[in-house]
Amino acid sequence: MIGRYCKDHLGAILFYVFTIATFWLVAGLYAQYRSEIFYATCITLAVGIVLGIVDFLRYRQRMSYLEQLNAHAKIEECLEKLPETGNCEVQMYQELLQSLADSYRGYVSKEEEKYRDRSDYFMMWTHQIKTPIAAMHLLIDDEDVPEVKDQLFRIEEYVSVVMNYLKSDDISQDFVLAEYDLDPIIEEAVRHYSSIFIRKKLKLEFTHTNLKVTTDKKWFLFVIEQILSNALKYTETGSISISAEKGALVISDTGCGIAEEDLPRLFEKGYTGYNGHSNEHSSGLGLYLCHKVLHQLGHPITITSKVGAGTQVRIGLDLTGL
């Protein structure tokens, strides 16, 4: 702090030192006035030291206060709590900061309004698109066109992801936490993808957990559906298994697996990795949303995988009973 003070007041300190040196030089040149000059020098030195100590204490107090504001306060709080100063230059800097803060607030307000408008539009679009999707289901319900039904199912999946992504900014406000039986939630997710299991001729190995879990049913169901969707997407032969193990829900598949270098980034928004690049249907939002939802709910999620040997997803459970 002393070094910073000296640096900030270097001009005044040099002038003070120059003044004292001048007194001593004059005393050396005029011996008859040496005692008077020495007396004046002592007074100047004493006054300078006292004023320097007082100014340093005030400087230290101001700097400590500014450091606390910078570490803990928001920009609006900082501007409201800036220490008063009689320095005109510092006042001008504070006024400049206030002007920049006003401009920043105006910019943020406009961007938030644009974001709300976009969110409202896409939310309206996701609701409106459900009508033609439902109509298409009715039109092809009795037709033997599995590929068309499969593509329509994918459209519904994408719409669901978009809707939940739009809600995810304030996701905790949508939670309804309660104690639920885990098995019915899993069974509902499996039924949702039953047609895909049948079409791909994949075996489902579901071991009933007989567990109860404290969570939000709707969002926890969304997470299980997303994990099953990924498992079905990347598994062509073999099976998908669901079971409970050591306080966690475990969903495993015998699919193509995930490259080791992709594992650390699986939960990043928009990241698709090698499998995503090779599969044009990957959006990179599913696992990002799963991680975000589970983090808010307090359920840890981990993924282990090996290329060619399948993938295992573990979801930690807040168990409330057996």
pTM listed for this prediction: 0.62
Instruction: Kindly report, residue by residue over 47-74, the tens digit of the pLDDT.
Output: 878 887 887 777 777 777 667 666 665 6
Asked if 187 and 217 count as a contact pair (C-beta separation under 8 A), the reply is no
What one-letter code names the amino acid at 266?
L
Instruction: Kindly report, residue by residue over 108-119, the tens digit of the pLDDT.
Output: 888 888 877 777
Q: How far apart are CA 51 and CA 49, in angstroms?
A: 6
Q: How far apart are CA 233 and CA 144, in angstroms?
A: 22
Residue in 265, 269, 260, 317 with CA at minimum distance from that of residue 289 = 269
Instruction: Kindly report, residue by residue over 130-160, the tens digit of the pLDDT.
Output: 788 788 777 777 777 777 777 777 787 878 7
Length of the chain: 322
Dihedral sign computed on CA atoms, order 231, 158, 315, 178: negative
Q: How far apart are CA 197 and CA 203, in angstroms?
A: 7
CB atoms within 10 A of CB 190: 17
